[in-house]
């Protein structure tokens, strides 16, 4: 089989498996469980949690220091190093966890968190450690190209959370109203069980015997992982700082409420981002191996980008045109909530949602082109882009939040994502010398205009909005096929080739 065809086939088959598992589980978690919890506890209470969660996420890189990305690329190119590196990296992960806890707790004290907030911060820090540990273990599994096993582990924690939270929400096991603390502890239990399962698999593959203290190795790993660490830290700031700044820059009650509205709007973006992220999970080790063996990456990059572009444009524009209907469906009026207040809440959330979903297109673009640059080792360029994005995002948030609150933060996020994505595309074209394919760009433009027209026309149909939305999606897929962006026969041919 041609190496390029083999790479395309491997990418598509493993992507389908990963997508199927995640589309079965994670949307139900986000829209069924997580959304229900916010509707149950209220916008303000959930906003309180959401801001603290994002603070723990900001310093998440201290738990990992770029080790996961470095390890994924390294194991993909040098499978035999798993046995040699695994034991030492485990010790390093635990040392980094201590540093993470100290710095994150200190940050909470510096910005003035209350006792209740600090207690929640401590548990969420532990959860972040578990998440980071699971991701490291998965990097070994995907680096070995055991994508099916990695796919199962990628949804295991959510399956466990669905079971635990589902029982607490609907199982009538307690007479008390659902509390945010239960949600957090349910996450802790699920992450512990998932980490143990993943650890068992990696230990078996690595033939692990005992922990080994290897100081020179630690310094070598830190030195090689440092560029990855800086990149992730900078990207975390301009991706996750929004809700923290909303909660801190606005008065207490207003800050929690606005952070809650932002969380309501962000939830669907978080759900669809999962799909784009899954592309990068598979692409990073594949790009890394192809680059090592000097296999052309342009066709795989274009294939993955085209698939994501069709999805992101359809979802982003559809979400913008149907933003009010979607938010009304997801967040019904609460008991004892005045209709006028409910209408105002939905209107504001819908505006934030429409703006944020525009960011799905550049975010997905970053998952393709940023991943390619990472696999190629262009971390200096990526760090400069990410640092610029962080400065831009922080500046815009400081200017816009006091005047426009959560809506201003949404505009800051969209602007930052667009600019950083365009720069990464430019870098890929320049570094890899991709040819500018004008007919391909014209087809992309025709597709975007068609999706806009379909959305406008679908809203004029006399059916229920969900049917209108579905019809819009069907016509979008047909347009993608007619413009030859979506070549179904070619995909089937790739899958059938041995």
Chain Cα centroid distance, residue 20: 17
| Secondary structure of residue 436 in the 3-state scheme | coil
Q: How far apart are CA 330 and CA 352, in angstroms?
A: 14
Angle in degrees, 0-180, between the axes of helices 147-170 and 3-27, rounded to the nearest 10: 10
Token output for 473: 């999606």
Q: How far apart are CA 234 and CA 229, in angstroms?
A: 9
291 neighbors 375 (Cβ within 8 angstroms): yes
Give residue for tokens 């900078």. 234
pTM (predicted TM-score): 0.74
214 φ, ψ to 5°?
-140, 85
The pLDDT of residue 294 is 80
Cβ-count burial of 166 within 10 angstroms (0-12 exposed, 13-18 middle, 19+ buried)?
Answer: middle
C-alpha dihedral sign at 127, 133, 136, 138: negative
Q: How far apart are CA 197 and CA 199, in angstroms?
A: 5
The pLDDT of residue 494 is 45
Q: How far apart are CA 243 and CA 246, in angstroms?
A: 5
Mean pLDDT, the chain cut into blocks of 10 residues (498 residues total): 53 64 73 82 80 82 73 59 66 87 90 84 92 84 70 84 88 80 91 90 69 71 75 74 84 83 86 81 79 82 88 93 92 82 90 93 91 86 90 92 92 94 92 87 93 92 90 90 75 47
The pLDDT of residue 497 is 46
HSE (side-chain half, CA atoms, 13 Å) at 397: 26
Q: How far apart are CA 410 and CA 405, in angstroms?
A: 9
Beta carbons within 8 Å of 318's beta carbon, 6+ residues apart? 451, 455, 469, 472, 473
HSE (side-chain half, CA atoms, 13 Å) at 118: 13
Token output for 73: 């690329």
Q: Which residue from 272, 235, 453, 443 is spatially nearest to 359, judged by alpha carbons?
A: 272
Token output for 284: 């990073």
The 3-state DSSP composition of the chain as helix, strand, coil percent (nearest 5) reads 85, 0, 15
Residue-wise pLDDT tens digits, 361-413 = 999 999 899 889 988 888 889 889 989 998 999 999 999 999 999 999 999 99
Give residue for tokens 């006091």. 402
37 neighbors 169 (Cβ within 8 angstroms): yes
Angle in degrees, 0-180, between the axes of helices 252-292 and 339-358, rounded to the nearest 10: 20
Give residue for tokens 């512990």. 192
Q: How far apart are CA 311 and CA 486, in angstroms?
A: 11
């Amino acid at each position: 089989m041609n190496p390029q065809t083999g790479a395309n086939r491997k990418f598509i088959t493993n992507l389908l498996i990963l997508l199927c598992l995640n589309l079965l589980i994670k949307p139900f978690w986000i829209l069924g469980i997580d959304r229900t919890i916010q509707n149950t506890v209220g916008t303000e209470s959930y906003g309180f949690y959401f801001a603290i969660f994002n603070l723990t996420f900001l310093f998440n890189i201290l738990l990992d220091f770029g080790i996961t990305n470095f390890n994924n690329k390294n194991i993909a190119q040098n499978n035999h190093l798993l046995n040699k590196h695994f034991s030492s990296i485990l010790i390093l992960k635990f040392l980094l966890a201590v540093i993470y806890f100290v710095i994150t707790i200190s940050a909470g004290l510096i910005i003035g968190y209350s006792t209740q907030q600090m207690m929640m911060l401590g548990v969420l820090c532990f959860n972040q450690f578990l998440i980071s540990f699971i991701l490291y273990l998965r990097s070994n599994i995907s680096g070995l190209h055991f994508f099916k096993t990695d796919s199962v582990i990628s949804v295991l924690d959510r399956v466990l959370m669905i079971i635990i939270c589902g029982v607490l929400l609907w199982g009538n096991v307690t007479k008390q109203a659902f509390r945010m603390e239960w949600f957090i502890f349910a996450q802790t239990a699920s992450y512990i069980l998932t980490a143990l399962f993943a650890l068992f698999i990696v230990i078996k593959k690595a033939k692990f015997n005992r922990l080994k203290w290897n100081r020179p190795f630690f310094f070598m790993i830190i030195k090689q992982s440092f560029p990855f660490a800086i990149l992730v830290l900078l990207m975390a700031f301009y991706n996750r700082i929004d809700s923290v700044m909303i909660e801190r820059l606005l008065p207490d009650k207003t800050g929690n409420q606005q952070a809650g509205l932002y969380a309501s709007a962000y939830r669907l973006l978080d759900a669809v981002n999962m799909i784009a992220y899954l592309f990068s999970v598979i692409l990073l080790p594949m790009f890394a191996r192809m680059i090592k063996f000097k296999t052309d990456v342009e066709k795989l990059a274009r294939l993955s980008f085209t698939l994501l572009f069709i999805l992101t444009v359809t979802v982003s524009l559809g979400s913008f045109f149907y933003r009010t209907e979607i938010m009304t469906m997801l967040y019904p009026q609460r008991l004892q909530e005045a209709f006028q207040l409910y209408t105002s809440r939905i209107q504001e959330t819908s505006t934030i949602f429409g703006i944020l979903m525009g960011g799905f297109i550049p975010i997905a673009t970053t998952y393709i082109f940023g991943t390619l640059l990472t696999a190629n080792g262009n971390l200096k360029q990526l760090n400069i882009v990410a640092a610029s994005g962080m400065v831009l995002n922080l500046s815009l948030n400081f200017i816009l939040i006091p005047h426009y609150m959560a809506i201003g933060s949404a505009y800051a996020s969209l602007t930052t994502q667009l600019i950083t994505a365009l720069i990464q595309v430019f870098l890929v074209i320049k570094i890899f010398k991709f040819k500018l394919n004008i007919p391909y760009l014209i087809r992309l433009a025709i597709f975007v205009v068609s999706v806009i027209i379909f959305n406008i026309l679908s809203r004029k149909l006399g059916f229920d909005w969900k049917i209108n939305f579905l019809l819009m999606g069907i016509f979008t897929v047909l347009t993608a096929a007619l413009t030859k962006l979506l070549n179904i026969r070619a995909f089937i041919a790739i899958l059938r080739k041995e």
